[in-house]
Amino acid sequence: MPETITGTSMTSEVAAAPSSQPDAAQAKSASALSRFFSIENRYLAPMLITSILLVGQISYGLLESFTRTALAIGVAMLLELALGRLFYGKFPHLASSYISGISVGILIRSPAFWPYALCSAISITSKYVIRWKGRHLWNPSNFAICALLLLAPEAVSTLSIQWGNDKWPLIIVWVLGALITWRVKRFHITATYVASFIVFAALRGLITGHGFLAEVAPITGPMYQLFIFFMITDPRTTVKQRWAQCLVAFLVAAMEMVLRLAENIHAPYYALTIVGPVALAFEIWWTARKQAPAKT
């Protein structure tokens, strides 16, 4: 039996994180606002990231262009529809592929069009190809971005600029991002990573002699805001236990520190690509090992 790939199986579906089913009483008493800001609202994350995109683009021209981002989104959604139908006999929910496409559209920087289409295609396809025991190990868009950075460095870079000079877009993104990740019970991942990054930045500052501000600077940029709210919190590619999620976030930050000391410009992407699958694979293996005696 082929397993079902749901709309929650992609990049940054914080709003679609798996959780215990709310009981009927809770559901009845929940206000419309609560329902809106709930784990079950799988449109929440797409709406947030769309808001970020629109604010960033209208205020500061954040994107390379709307057409490139639209291309990334279009390819991701079309491929998701096609592969979902082909492999599982039904059209999957498109929220997650939308997030993958929009993440690629924002995070990839290239004057050409093809990297946007290719990155989205790699992202979606990787979910269906690179699987182990029914789960895909890599965060799809993180994997695809790393693949392009390695395979096409002459044509692709990543978003590394600011949200302009105004502090308000930064504050709005952080507040909204924190609020939503908290509502969907993923904020501890973000918080652990941010805290770890800051501690490691201070440590790097001491090691390199460049000072704390120079080392903490990257996390104040928009790329990191997308990374910490949408990428490392992806439910399908993070481990299940709350404490383990915190540990993995810490390890991602630690790996990033190692890569940064080696002056790797794309350190956060590579750190997640290295640590995330290893942690997930370990969890899958550990769970299977624990369950094995019960089956026999």
Partner 1 sequence: MQSRTLRIILTVFFIGLLATPFVIKRLSARKEPAPTTANASTALARYGLSFQESAKASGVNFTHAAPKLDPKLDHIMPQIASMGAAVSVVDFDRDGWQDVYLTNSEEGKSNILFKNLGNGRFSEMLGDNWGNGENSRKNGVSMGAVWGDYDNDGYEDLFVYKWGRPELYHNDGGKGFTRVSEQAGFPKWINANSAIWFDYDRDGRLDLFIAGYYDEKIDLWNLADTKMMPESFEYAQNGGRKYLFHNLGGGKFEEVAEHLGIKSRRWALAAVAADLRGTGYPDLFIANDYGVSELFFNDGGKKFREVGSQTGIGFAPKSGMTAAIGDALNRGAFAIYVSNISEEGVLIQGNNLWVPRAGTSGENLKFDNLARDLGVEIGGWSWGAQFGDLNNDGYQDIYLVNGYISADRNGSYWYDYSKVTGGNTAIISDAKNWPPMNNRSLSGYQQKKVWINDGAGQFKEVAQIVGVTDVYDGRSVALGDFTNSGKLDVVVANQKGPALLYKNTVAPDNKWIAFDLEGANSNRSAIGAQARIFWNGQQQAQEVTGGSGFCSQNQRRLHFGLGKGASVDRVEIRWPSGKTQTIRAPETNKIHKLKEA
Q: Least distance to partner 1 from the beta carbon of 12, Å?
A: 20
**Dist CA 65 CA 41 (whole Å):** 29
CA distances from 259 to 41, 145, 237, 269, 281 (A): 36, 17, 21, 10, 22
Using CB atoms within 10 Å of the CB of residue 251, give its burial: 0 to 12 exposed, 13 to 18 middle, 19+ buried: buried
Q: Least distance to partner 1 from the beta carbon of 210, Å?
A: 4
DSSP state of 161: -
| Nearest CB to partner 1, comparing residues 145 and 239 | 145
| Nearest CB to partner 1, comparing residues 14 and 231 | 231
| Nearest CB to partner 1, comparing residues 109 and 188 | 109
Structure tokens at 138: 């890599």
Q: Least distance to partner 1 from the beta carbon of 223, Å?
A: 7
| Nearest CB to partner 1, comparing residues 50 and 160 | 160
State the DSSP string of 90-114.
SPPPSHHHHHHHHHHHHHEE-SSSH
Q: Least distance to partner 1 from the beta carbon of 54, Å?
A: 15
Q: Least distance to partner 1 from the beta carbon of 188, Å?
A: 25
Ramachandran category for residue 17: left, alpha or beta (phi over 0 → left; psi -120 to 50 → alpha) = beta
CB of 68 closer than 8 Å to CB of 40: no
Q: Least distance to partner 1 from the beta carbon of 2, Å?
A: 6
**Dist CA 126 CA 137 (whole Å):** 9
Beta strands at 108-109 and 131-132: parallel, antiparallel or unpaired? unpaired
| Nearest CB to partner 1, comparing residues 179 and 265 | 265
Q: Least distance to partner 1 from the beta carbon of 209, Å?
A: 8
Which among 162, 117, 122 is positioned nearest to 141, based on CA atoms?
Answer: 122
In one letter, which amino acid is 115?
A: P
| Nearest CB to partner 1, comparing residues 38 and 138 | 138
| Nearest CB to partner 1, comparing residues 87 and 182 | 87
Q: Which residues bind partner 1 (CB under 8 A)?
A: 2, 60-61, 63-65, 83, 86-87, 109-112, 114, 118, 121-122, 125-126, 128-129, 147-149, 151-157, 160-162, 164-165, 167, 170, 208, 210-211, 213-218, 220-221, 223, 260, 263-265
